[in-house]
Amino acid sequence: MNIFINKKKRILVVDDSEIDLDLVEMMLQDKYNILPTKSGKEALDYLLHYNNVDLILLDLIMPEMDGWETFSRIKDLGIINNVPIAFLTSVHGIEEQNHAKEIGAADYIFKPYTKEELHKRIKAIIKKNKNHIERKYFAETMYKDTLEDKEDICAA
Protein backbone atom coordinates (compact mmCIF):
# COMPACT_ATOMS: atom_id res chain seq x y z
CA MET A 1 0.00 0.00 0.00
CA ASN A 2 1.43 3.35 -0.99
CA ILE A 3 0.71 5.85 1.77
CA PHE A 4 1.77 8.80 -0.38
CA ILE A 5 -0.38 10.65 -2.84
CA ASN A 6 1.38 12.13 -5.86
CA LYS A 7 0.54 15.76 -5.33
CA LYS A 8 2.54 18.93 -5.56
CA LYS A 9 4.60 19.13 -2.37
CA ARG A 10 4.14 22.16 -0.14
CA ILE A 11 7.24 24.03 1.00
CA LEU A 12 7.09 26.61 3.76
CA VAL A 13 9.87 29.15 3.17
CA VAL A 14 10.88 31.36 6.10
CA ASP A 15 13.02 34.39 5.27
CA ASP A 16 12.83 38.05 6.21
CA SER A 17 14.08 39.08 2.75
CA GLU A 18 11.30 39.53 0.22
CA ILE A 19 13.88 39.29 -2.56
CA ASP A 20 14.99 35.86 -1.30
CA LEU A 21 11.38 34.72 -0.85
CA ASP A 22 10.57 35.81 -4.41
CA LEU A 23 13.70 34.10 -5.75
CA VAL A 24 12.88 30.77 -4.07
CA GLU A 25 9.29 30.97 -5.26
CA MET A 26 10.38 31.75 -8.81
CA MET A 27 12.85 28.84 -8.82
CA LEU A 28 10.51 26.27 -7.30
CA GLN A 29 6.94 27.16 -8.24
CA ASP A 30 6.94 24.90 -11.29
CA LYS A 31 7.26 21.76 -9.12
CA TYR A 32 6.19 22.83 -5.63
CA ASN A 33 3.56 24.91 -3.86
CA ILE A 34 5.53 27.63 -2.11
CA LEU A 35 4.23 29.13 1.12
CA PRO A 36 6.35 32.23 1.84
CA THR A 37 6.57 33.62 5.37
CA LYS A 38 8.62 36.65 6.45
CA SER A 39 9.47 35.66 10.02
CA GLY A 40 9.73 32.81 12.45
CA LYS A 41 6.60 34.05 14.20
CA GLU A 42 4.64 34.06 10.93
CA ALA A 43 5.85 30.52 10.19
CA LEU A 44 4.80 29.31 13.64
CA ASP A 45 1.39 30.94 13.26
CA TYR A 46 0.96 29.23 9.89
CA LEU A 47 1.97 25.83 11.28
CA LEU A 48 -0.39 26.16 14.24
CA HIS A 49 -3.31 26.64 11.87
CA TYR A 50 -2.24 24.61 8.83
CA ASN A 51 0.25 21.88 9.57
CA ASN A 52 0.14 20.62 5.98
CA VAL A 53 3.67 21.18 4.74
CA ASP A 54 6.15 18.68 3.30
CA LEU A 55 9.32 20.69 3.87
CA ILE A 56 10.44 23.85 5.63
CA LEU A 57 13.27 26.02 4.26
CA LEU A 58 14.52 28.29 7.01
CA ASP A 59 16.88 31.26 6.93
CA LEU A 60 19.23 31.66 9.90
CA ILE A 61 19.61 35.43 10.09
CA MET A 62 16.27 37.08 10.82
CA PRO A 63 15.25 39.83 13.24
CA GLU A 64 13.27 39.09 16.41
CA MET A 65 13.46 35.28 16.11
CA ASP A 66 16.46 33.81 14.29
CA GLY A 67 16.49 30.49 12.46
CA TRP A 68 17.84 28.52 15.43
CA GLU A 69 15.03 29.66 17.70
CA THR A 70 12.44 29.17 14.96
CA PHE A 71 13.73 25.62 14.38
CA SER A 72 13.53 24.86 18.09
CA ARG A 73 10.01 26.25 18.44
CA ILE A 74 8.78 24.35 15.38
CA LYS A 75 10.16 21.11 16.84
CA ASP A 76 8.57 21.95 20.21
CA LEU A 77 5.14 22.19 18.55
CA GLY A 78 5.23 18.42 18.10
CA ILE A 79 2.58 18.50 15.37
CA ILE A 80 4.94 18.17 12.43
CA ASN A 81 7.41 15.54 13.58
CA ASN A 82 7.82 14.04 10.10
CA VAL A 83 8.46 17.34 8.31
CA PRO A 84 12.11 17.96 7.43
CA ILE A 85 13.58 21.39 8.07
CA ALA A 86 16.52 22.60 6.00
CA PHE A 87 18.47 25.79 6.53
CA LEU A 88 18.78 28.03 3.48
CA THR A 89 21.27 30.68 4.51
CA SER A 90 24.17 32.97 3.69
CA VAL A 91 25.99 31.85 6.87
CA HIS A 92 28.81 29.62 5.65
CA GLY A 93 30.47 28.76 8.98
CA ILE A 94 31.45 25.18 9.78
CA GLU A 95 30.21 25.59 13.36
CA GLU A 96 26.75 26.51 12.10
CA GLN A 97 26.72 23.56 9.71
CA ASN A 98 27.72 21.18 12.48
CA HIS A 99 25.14 22.63 14.85
CA ALA A 100 22.43 22.23 12.21
CA LYS A 101 23.36 18.57 11.80
CA GLU A 102 23.43 18.03 15.58
CA ILE A 103 19.91 19.40 16.07
CA GLY A 104 18.47 17.33 13.24
CA ALA A 105 18.28 19.67 10.26
CA ALA A 106 17.65 17.86 6.99
CA ASP A 107 20.20 19.97 5.11
CA TYR A 108 22.22 23.18 5.19
CA ILE A 109 22.06 24.98 1.85
CA PHE A 110 24.26 27.98 1.13
CA LYS A 111 23.09 31.17 -0.50
CA PRO A 112 23.64 31.88 -3.31
CA TYR A 113 22.45 28.69 -4.99
CA THR A 114 21.36 27.75 -8.47
CA LYS A 115 17.91 26.57 -9.43
CA GLU A 116 19.33 23.16 -10.33
CA GLU A 117 21.13 22.81 -7.00
CA LEU A 118 18.05 23.84 -5.03
CA HIS A 119 15.84 21.37 -6.91
CA LYS A 120 18.38 18.58 -6.45
CA ARG A 121 18.76 19.18 -2.71
CA ILE A 122 15.00 19.46 -2.12
CA LYS A 123 14.32 16.31 -4.12
CA ALA A 124 16.92 14.44 -2.02
CA ILE A 125 15.44 15.72 1.26
CA ILE A 126 11.90 14.74 0.29
CA LYS A 127 13.00 11.30 -0.95
CA LYS A 128 14.98 10.61 2.23
CA ASN A 129 12.04 11.73 4.37
CA LYS A 130 9.58 9.60 2.36
CA ASN A 131 11.80 6.55 2.83
CA HIS A 132 12.06 7.25 6.56
CA ILE A 133 8.28 7.56 6.94
CA GLU A 134 7.67 4.40 4.91
CA ARG A 135 10.14 2.42 7.05
CA LYS A 136 8.52 3.76 10.22
CA TYR A 137 5.04 2.91 8.92
CA PHE A 138 6.20 -0.60 7.96
CA ALA A 139 7.82 -1.16 11.37
CA GLU A 140 4.70 0.03 13.20
CA THR A 141 2.48 -2.18 11.04
CA MET A 142 4.71 -5.21 11.61
CA TYR A 143 4.75 -4.56 15.36
CA LYS A 144 0.96 -4.27 15.45
CA ASP A 145 0.57 -7.47 13.42
CA THR A 146 2.98 -9.30 15.75
CA LEU A 147 1.00 -8.19 18.80
CA GLU A 148 -2.25 -9.33 17.20
CA ASP A 149 -0.68 -12.73 16.37
CA LYS A 150 0.47 -13.12 19.98
CA GLU A 151 -3.02 -12.24 21.25
CA ASP A 152 -4.50 -14.88 18.90
CA ILE A 153 -2.07 -17.51 20.14
CA CYS A 154 -2.75 -16.66 23.79
CA ALA A 155 -6.53 -16.76 23.20
CA ALA A 156 -6.34 -20.21 21.60
Question: Residue 78 has what pLDDT?
Answer: 84
Q: Which residue did the predictor score with more confidence, 135 or 127? A: 127
Residue 87 lies in a domain: yes
Given strand 107-110, what is the order of strands in its sheet? 32-37, 9-14, 55-58, 85-89, 107-110
| Residues 9-20, mean pLDDT to the nearest whole number | 97
Question: Residue 137 has what pLDDT?
Answer: 54
* pLDDT tens digits, 1-11: 444 455 899 99
Q: How far is CA 147 from the centre of its chain?
A: 32
Residue 94 lies in a domain: yes
Largest Cα span, the chain: 67
Question: Residue 132 has what pLDDT?
Answer: 47
Residue 115 lies in a domain: yes
* pLDDT tens digits, 24-67: 999 999 999 999 999 999 999 999 998 789 999 999 999 999 99
- The whole domain housing 81 covers 9-126
What is the number of structural domains in the chain? 1
Residue 134 lies in a domain: no
CA-based nearest residue to 59, from 111, 98, 106: 111
Integer Cα distance of 26 and 28 in angstroms: 6
Three-state secondary-structure class, residue 109: strand
CATH number reported for the structural domain that contains residue 48 in this entry: 3.40.50.2300
30 contacts: CB under 8 Å, gap ≥ 6: none
State the pTM of this model: 0.81
What residue spans of 50-93 are helical by DSSP H? 67-77
| Residues 136-154, mean pLDDT to the nearest whole number | 54
Q: Which residue did the predictor score with more confidence, 154 or 87? A: 87
